[in-house]
Every structure is written in structure tokens, then in C-alpha cells.
Amino acid sequence: MGLLDFLKRKSPLERHAERVANKRTQNPDRWESIQTLGKMATTEPSGGKPDEREAAVAALLERFTFYCDPTITDGEEKDEAYRWVCEAGELAVGPVKAALRQQESLSWGMKCLEQLLPPDRFVEELVALLGTMSVEYERDPQRKLQLLSTLEEKRGPAIVGAVTPFFTAINEEARFHAYGAALVQDNAEDARAELLEALLEEDSIRVQIRVLTMLGELGWEVPENLEMPEGWFRDKKGMARKSTKKSG
């Protein structure tokens, strides 16, 4: 082997990272590399060796970027990569946050981060990530929709302010989840003015009905000039109600 060949040799970390990130790798080989990277991610270096733990975590996170056949193998590999990332603890937080800003799907990254952080910190990270996203049209809005729908299930005072701009998002599904995330919070009142203003311009019947249902549960009045969807009316107290009369 010549000098150039020696210099071009990849480190064990690089070799295993390439295996894990390649959907064409044979399943047993990829499984072996997941185990090796997992041990690298969770073992403190000794003897003056470089600390490659964060790099190993980042390599494991690449397994979440593709699907492979068969389905059961795909699930097992992702579960195993997830297990190792979580076992790495606090040092895995940085690589996971970086992956969330780059990967097309947020599902596994959010799952990892939720396991690694206490609930309040997890919500803070989701809010920060949402702040990097746009209310404008996107060809593929899945990242935004995954994040907004996850925030519907969480509680935190910063969520209302974070989702308020999405009341007027171009994407209907984004508006659907943004309203939902705001109205389940204890401080939903903070967005009352913006929400009711946006509702006046809402053109999706599906979204209107969801919001009106939630407003009725909260006991909020709706604007007098709000055009109600079919089957709904504004009662004497100013609250939205669904008609109980049968048509025809």
C-alpha cells in the first residue's frame, strides 16, 4: 500500500457512518455499524483518543432519513438507532437539534429530543425551530405540519406566541394545527385578538368549524360580522353554536 492509499483510508467512524447512511447497505452490515456507532456514542474516550461521541450520534441520526425494505427491518434499525442516541444523553442534544434543522422528516428527531430533555426544554426547542419556518407557500410543508401538530399536544406559555403567525399561513393544514395548538393553552387569551381577526378571513369550512367548536368550549364570543358556516349560528350571548335543527 502506497502513501496516498494510506492517507485516503477512512477512519472507523467514517466507514460505519457511510454504512448507516446508505439504504443500499446490506441489512446485517448496517445493523453491525449501528451497534459500533452506538458504542462510540456512549463510550467516553480514553488514552488521549479524540472524542467522537457527538459525531457518532450525528451518524446514527442519518438512519432516520430513509426507508428500507422489509418494513420490520426498517423499524428495528430505527428503534435501535433511537435507543443508542437516547443512551448518549445530554451530549446528543446538539446533534439532534442540528438534524432537526436539516432532515426532511422531524418525527424521529423530535422523538429523540423529547426523551433527552425535560418537557419545558423540549417545548422551548420546538418553539425555536418553528421560529425558523415560514407562513408562506412551500412545495413540501411536512416539516412545518409535523411541528405544529406536535405543539397541539404540548403545553407551554411560549406556544401561543409561536403559533399565532400561522393563523394566516397559506397552507390550510398549518392553520388548522396552529389554531388548535393555541386554543388548548392556558394562556390562549393572549392571542384572542389575532385569532378572531384571522377567523374573519378564514375561508376553510373545516378550519372554521374546528375553531368555532373550540371557542364554544372556551366560552369566547365571536365577532358579530363573522359569516358563520352552514349549520352554525351566533347565540344571544355572542357565542358560536351548532344548530340542532335537521335540514329538510
| Each residue's pLDDT tens digit, 163-203 | 999 999 999 999 999 999 999 999 999 999 999 999 999 99
Peptide bond into 70 cis (omega under 30): yes
d(CA 78, CA 103): 15
pLDDT attached to residue 9: 80
pLDDT attached to residue 8: 61
Q: What is the mean pLDDT of each run of 10 residues along the chain (248 residues)?
A: 56 96 96 98 93 98 96 97 98 98 96 98 98 94 97 98 98 98 98 97 97 96 95 95 75
pTM score: 0.90
d(CA 156, CA 67): 33
Please classify residue 37 by burial: count the beta carbons closer than 10 Å to its beta carbon, then call 0-12 exposed, 13-18 middle and 19+ buried. buried
Element spanning 232, H or E: strand 232-234
Show me where the domains of the chain are located. Answer: 8-117, 153-248
